[in-house]
Amino acid sequence: MAIRMNPEDRKAQILEAALKVAREIGDYKVTRELVAKEAGVAPGLVSRYFSDMATLQDEIVIQAAKNRDIRIITVGLLDRHPCRARDCG
């Protein structure tokens, strides 16, 4: 069960969990369930702070750019590269 936190701290906790997941698998593969598991909260709580996955993914990219998180930026760029999408050899 999640500990009650003030809203700003809880949102920051969830975002940090999302960033950790994104570093591992890429920002576009992040799911509500994976973030919730990493943060130790229910998936509904993720939805409470980030209304949809597009909003959360946007925030991941914004934070990655602000923090110069090369891992998230690189994985995101590689996964979105057109050649990768077509399985170019």
**Average pLDDT of the residues in 62-83:** 76
Question: Is 2 domain-assigned?
Answer: no
Give the predicted TM-score (pTM) of the model.
Answer: 0.81
Contact 57, 15 (CB under 8 A): no
CA triple 49-53-59, angle to 5 deg: 70
Question: Is 63 domain-assigned?
Answer: yes
Contact 38, 17 (CB under 8 A): yes
Reported for 46-53, long-range contacts at CB under 8 A and 24+ positions apart, including other chains, are: 46/14, 49/7, 49/10, 49/11, 49/14, 50/14
Question: Is 29 domain-assigned?
Answer: yes
Question: Is 1 domain-assigned?
Answer: no
Contact 10, 45 (CB under 8 A): yes
Number of domains in the chain: 1
Q: What's the pLDDT tens digit per position in 23-72?
A: 988 877 899 999 999 999 999 999 999 999 989 988 998 898 899 988 88
Q: What is the CATH number of the domain that holds 63?
A: 1.10.357.10
